[in-house]
Amino acid sequence: MPDKPWVMRTYAGHSSAAESNALYRRNLAKGQTGLSVAFDLPTQTGYDPDHELSRGEVGKVGVPIPHLGAMRRLFQDIPLDTMNTSMTINATAMWLLAMYQVAAEEQGVDPSLLSGTTQNDIIKEYLSRGTYVFGPAPSLRLTTDMIAYTVSTIPKWNPLNICSYHLQEAGATPTQELAYALTTAIAVLDSVRDSGQVPPEEFEKVVGRISFFVNAGVRFVEEMCKMRAFGRLWDEITRERYGVQDPKMRRLRYGVQVNSLGLTEAQPENNVQRIVLEMLGVTLSKDARARAVQLPAWNEALGLPRPWDQQWSLRLQQVLAFESDLLEYDDIFEGSVVIEAKVSELIEGAKAEIDRVQAMGGAVAAVESGYMKQALVGSHSERRARIESGEMKVVGVNSYVETEPSPLTADLDGAIMTADPEAEANAVADVRAWREQRDQSAVDESLQRLQREAKTDANLMQATLEAVRAGATVGEWAGALREVFGEYRAPTGVSGVASVAEAGAELTAVRERVRQTGEELGTRLRFLVGKPGLDGHSNGAEQIAVRARDAGFEVVYQGIRLTPAQIVAAAVAEDVHAVGLSILSGSHMELVPDVQQAMDEAGIGDVPLIVGGIIPESDARRMEAAGVAAVFTPKDFGMTTIMDRIVDEIRKANDLT
C-alpha cells in the first residue's frame, strides 16, 4: 500500500482574526490538511496593537491575536478536536497555547484531544528571527513549564518545534544547522529533566513530543542527506544522553518550510522550480521524509502572496503526492555509496560543532557570548560574497539575466496582496473595546498572581490560563513578566566577523572614496544602520553593517526593535553622515515617514536616508519622491555597489563635487 502523504499546510494569517478565519476555511476546502498560523509581530513580541512599537506592524506578517476574543474568532466554525494546528509563535507561546486551550474548551473540546504544535524555540530567536521578549534563562523557564504542562494535560500536543529553518535563513551551513538545532534540543531537554516537573518514567514522552521545523534549500541532494544525518544524530542523542529505549520516541519528527532565502525578486517565475526542488529534498527519501510540508509562494520576494499564490503552492504538493509514484516505494537511496558518504561527512562535522558548543556551556552560553550569532553572520557574509563574485550562480540575478517580459509581473502592484490599510486601526479599536467590557479587577488579580509565581519556581501555565480567562491581553501578560524578568537585547554578531582579507578592485575603489570623502569633511564617515519597529529579520541589516565596515565606514548598529525616536537620537549622538533603515515586514510606508519627521525635528533632515527591504516598486518611488535618498530591494544584490551609492548620497548632501 502507498504511504500516507504528509500533512499539507500553507503558512497564513493577516489583517484580522475574521479575515484569517475565512482564508483558513477556504484553504481547508481546497484540500489543505492542517493549519499553520502566522501571527503578526506585535503578537509575537508581546505588545498590544496600540503600543508605540506596534505602529505599522499590526496585521502585516500575520494575524493580530491579542486576547481570547480574537482567538475565538480565528477558529470559529473550525472544529479544534479534529484539526492539527501549527502556531509559529515563540516568546509568547505559553500565552497563545493557553488561549487556544480555552477557545477549544469553549467549543466543548477536552484539552487531551488537541493536536498541533507551538514552535516555542526561543534560542533561534536570538540568532536569526529576533522575536524574543525575555533573556535566555527566563525564556527557557517558560518553555520548560509549557512542556511539563502539555505532557500531562495536552499529551498529543508538540510543545516545542526546534526551528533550524531560520538558522539557514541567517546563513547557517548544513553542518551549523544540524549542530545548533541539536544543541538547542539538548538545552531544553536538560532543563525539563533538571526541573523535576516530569517524573523520570514520563521523560520518554517529553522526548517523543519534541519536533523540528527545518529548512530545505535548492541543493536538494545535500538537503536530503542533511535530513538523514539529522535523524541518525537525534536517535543517538536521545538513546545515549537520555536513555530513551522506545525507537518510536527516538524518531526525528519534522515539518518543513522550504527555503525563502533563495527566492529572487529578479525573474521571480524561477522561484517555482526552486520551490519544487526544495520540496523534493524533504520528500524523496522515505526514511527521512517530512511529516508536514508548507511551501512559500513564488512571489514572496516581491511582497505578500495572494490566496491564489498560496493555492499554487498547495497544488505543487498535491501533484507530487497524488499524481507521482513517490509514495509507492521504500527508501530509494538505501545503500547508495554517494549518499552514505555525504551523510557521514555531515554527521562528523555536526558532532564536532556540537562538542564545541557544549564545551562552552551549551546553547544558552553560546548565545550569551555571541559565538553562535557571530558564526552565522560570518557564514552568511561568505555566501553573499560568493554570489557577488559570481562563484555561486543565481539564475536571473548574477547569471542568465536576459529575460522576456513576464506576464506574471506585468502589473507589479497586482502581483502581490496589499495589506488592509484599516487593519491596524480596527485592531486598536478592538483591543480597546475588549478592555472596556471585561472585569478589570479580575485581570489585575490574575496578573498579580502571574508576577508572584514568576518570582518562584512554580509552573506558570496555570497563572497564564487564569489571565486568559480573566480577559488579559498579550501585552499585559508579557508586560507583567517583563517587570519580573527584565528586558533583553541579544548580541548582533557584527563586530566579531572577520574583515574581508582580499578586497578586490571594486571594494578597494569604494574604500578609497570613503577615505577621500572623510578627508574632505574632516572626519571618518559614519553610517547608522537602523531596524525600526518590530521586524526582527536582521540578516540584511547585519550584512550591510559588515560590508559598510569593510568599506571603511564607522558603523553604528544597535540591533533590532527600535523606535524612530531612538534611531534618530543615535544618529544625532553619533553625528552620522547617513542613516540606513532595513524593513522587511511591510511597515515601511508608516515607519519611514516617522523617521523622516523625527530627523527633521532633530535638525538632521539633510542627512541622507537610505531604505532597504521587501518593498514594492510603487512604494519605492513614493518614498524617493518624499525625500528618501535611495531605496534598495532584494534585486540589488551587490552590496559594494550599495556602499558606492551611499557615498554618492553623502557627497551630494554635503555639496562635494
Flag whether 429 is in a domain: no
Give me the phi and psi of 479, to 5 degrees please. -65, -40
CA–CA distances in Å: residue 342 to residues 181, 221, 266, 492: 19, 9, 32, 32
Exactly one of 165, 180, 254, 557 is catalytic; name it.
165
pLDDT at 171: 87
| Cα distance between residue 297 and residue 38, in whole Å | 14
Residue whose cell numbers read 538537503: 223
Q: Give yes or no for a contact between 405 and 394, defined as CB atoms under 8 angstroms apart.
A: no
| Cα distance between residue 453 and residue 592, in whole Å | 41
Mean pLDDT lowest for which of 229-233, 297-301, 487-491, 627-631? 487-491
| Cα distance between residue 390 and residue 384, in whole Å | 10
Give me the phi and psi of 20, to 5 degrees please. -70, -40
16 compared with 499, residue with greater pLDDT: 16
Same domain flag for 519 and 644? yes
pLDDT at 10: 74
pLDDT at 411: 84
Average pLDDT over residues 111-127: 92
Flag whether 289 is in a domain: yes
CA–CA distances in Å: residue 295 to residues 28, 164, 276: 15, 16, 9
| Cα distance between residue 555 and residue 525, in whole Å | 9
Task: Name the nearest CA neighbour of 70 among 115, 119, 19.
Answer: 19
pLDDT at 327: 95
Flag whether 176 is in a domain: yes
Is 166 tagged catalytic? yes
Q: What's the pLDDT band for 3 if we cut at 50, 70, 90?
A: confident
What mean pLDDT value characterizes the chain? 92
Is 430 tagged catalytic? no
Average pLDDT over residues 450-457: 97
| Cα distance between residue 583 and residue 610, in whole Å | 11
pLDDT at 9: 81
Question: Where in the sequence is the domain holding 63, given as residue range(s)?
Answer: 7-327+336-389
Flag whether 478 is in a domain: no
pLDDT at 502: 52
Exactly one of 373, 531, 577, 588 is catalytic; name it.
531
Task: Name the nearest CA neighbour of 214 among 153, 160, 276, 290.
Answer: 290
Share of the chain above pLDDT 70, in %: 98
pLDDT at 151: 93
Q: Give yes or no for a contact between 478 and 131, defined as CB atoms under 8 angstroms apart.
A: no
Exactly one of 14, 166, 226, 351 is catalytic; name it.
166
Is 371 tagged catalytic? no
Average pLDDT over residues 515-520: 96
Share of the chain above pLDDT 90, in %: 73
Q: How confident is the model over 289-307, as pLDDT tens digits?
A: 999 898 989 998 887 788 8
CA–CA distances in Å: residue 190 to residues 177, 183, 201, 233, 635: 20, 10, 15, 17, 44
Task: Return the CATH number at 131.
Answer: 3.20.20.240
Is 531 tagged catalytic? yes
Average pLDDT over residues 589-606: 96
Is 635 tagged catalytic? no
pLDDT at 32 over 90: no
pLDDT at 500: 53
pLDDT at 224: 95
Flag whether 580 is in a domain: yes
pLDDT at 128: 82
pLDDT at 563: 92
pLDDT at 495 over 70: no
Q: How confident is the model over 187-200, as pLDDT tens digits?
A: 999 999 999 999 99
Flag whether 298 is in a domain: yes
Flag whether 458 is in a domain: no
Exactly one of 14, 342, 351, 537 is catalytic; name it.
537
Q: What's the pLDDT band for 503 if we cut at 50, 70, 90?
A: low
Average pLDDT over residues 382-410: 90
pLDDT at 594 over 60: yes
Q: How confident is the model over 71-80, as pLDDT tens digits?
A: 999 999 999 9
Question: Is 0.85 topped by the overall pTM?
Answer: yes
pLDDT at 446: 98
pLDDT at 61: 84
> 462 CB contacts (<8 Å, ≥6 apart)?
none
pLDDT at 497 over 90: no
Residue at which a domain ends, from 389, 405, 428: 389
Same domain flag for 509 and 383? no
Is 537 tagged catalytic? yes
Same domain flag for 516 and 380? no
pLDDT at 504 over 90: no
pLDDT at 501 over 60: no
Task: Return the CATH number at 602.
Answer: 3.40.50.280
pLDDT at 585 over 90: no
Q: What's the pLDDT band for 323 if we cut at 50, 70, 90?
A: very high
Average pLDDT over residues 331-355: 96
Flag whether 293 is in a domain: yes
Residue at which a domain ends, from 367, 389, 411: 389
Total domains present in the chain? 2
| Cα distance between residue 474 and residue 136, in whole Å | 20
Q: How confident is the model over 206-220, as pLDDT tens digits?
A: 999 999 999 999 999
Mean pLDDT lowest for which of 108-122, 185-199, 485-499, 518-532? 485-499
Q: Is 487 exposed, middle or buried (0-12, 13-18, 19+ CB in 10 A)?
A: exposed
Average pLDDT over residues 544-550: 92
pLDDT at 458: 97
Exactly one of 535, 550, 594, 619 is catalytic; name it.
535
Residue at which a domain ends, from 370, 389, 408: 389
